[in-house]
Amino acid sequence: MSREATDLWREALAASGVRVLDVHGCHPKDMNIWDEHPERRQAAMDLFVHRLRLTKELGGDAMVYHVPYHCEPAPEIIERFIDALARLEDTAREIGVRVALENHYLHENDRIALTAAFERFESDYVGLTFDSGHAVRSGNTDWLIDNCFDRLAILHLHDNEPEKDRHWLPWHERGHVPWERIAEAIARSSYTKPLQFEVQWKEKEQPDQLQFLKDAHSAALRLHSLVEAERAANKANCTP
């Protein structure tokens, strides 16, 4: 992205009053930091650094990046993934942006890649982006909460079903996300930023877009209330 485009974004954000919390790293087709082809891998790492710098310039503190996905978590893939993160660490620290690895669709990929990354890197460099919809699809909701929420940095919250990514509002009638469990886990974590939804308006399901926005606001307030109630209860239980 050019300097001119970045400046336009910054001006638009300033005019709107919208604050950037974090930025999603890019995953172009056949360009990942675990790629076996050196040229594509280097291009992915260059893009990774570009997004780190963009995140900083727009005011964010963390950048999302997916764990290896759409492939088997073979040892050589995980090794290249960890090696690339190691090569990028000094640059990320110099820029001042944390990398937040996002759980994806595949059960074993999440567990193997996140475990390897968290064992290798300190939490101030590598954290977690928790995607509640992906967790439903992979079946890893409880595992992620129990093993990764001490590194929670970014939230991608939406309801889902196991068979397909839906990006529904929380508490959708066909959703499978355990929102009370999620609220409790967020409250017990060190996460302090606003709740972040990753939802999608679909005209065929809800023709009235304004009503969708009102429903999204109501869902955000409901989840926020649950999280704050859990935090208050946790604080009360810790008081002598």
Per-residue pLDDT at 240:
67
Predicted confidence at residue 68, as pLDDT, reads: 95
User: What is the per-residue pLDDT across 195-216, written as a single tens digit (0 to 9) for each?
Assistant: 999 999 999 999 999 999 999 9
Q: Read off the tokens for 122.
A: 């300190």
Amino acid at 17: G
Name the β-bridge partners of 197.
157
| pLDDT of amino acid 237 | 84
> What is the block-wise mean pLDDT of the chain (240 residues), using blocks of 10 residues?
84 93 89 94 96 96 95 94 98 98 96 98 98 98 98 98 96 97 98 97 95 98 98 85
Helix (H) / strand (E) containing 167: strand 164-168
State residue 1's pLDDT score: 66
Predicted local confidence at residue 131, as pLDDT: 98
- Cα–Cα distances (Å) from 235 to 183, 187, 190, 238, in that order, read 15, 10, 13, 5
pTM as predicted: 0.96
Q: What per-residue confidence (pLDDT) applies to 86?
A: 98
pLDDT number for residue 29: 79
How many Å apart are CA 31 and CA 14, to the nearest integer? Answer: 32
Confidence (pLDDT) at 28: 85
Domain covering 3-238 in this structure, CATH number: 3.20.20.150
The amino acid occupying position 31 is: M
pLDDT value at position 52? 97
Strands 159-161 and 22-24: unpaired
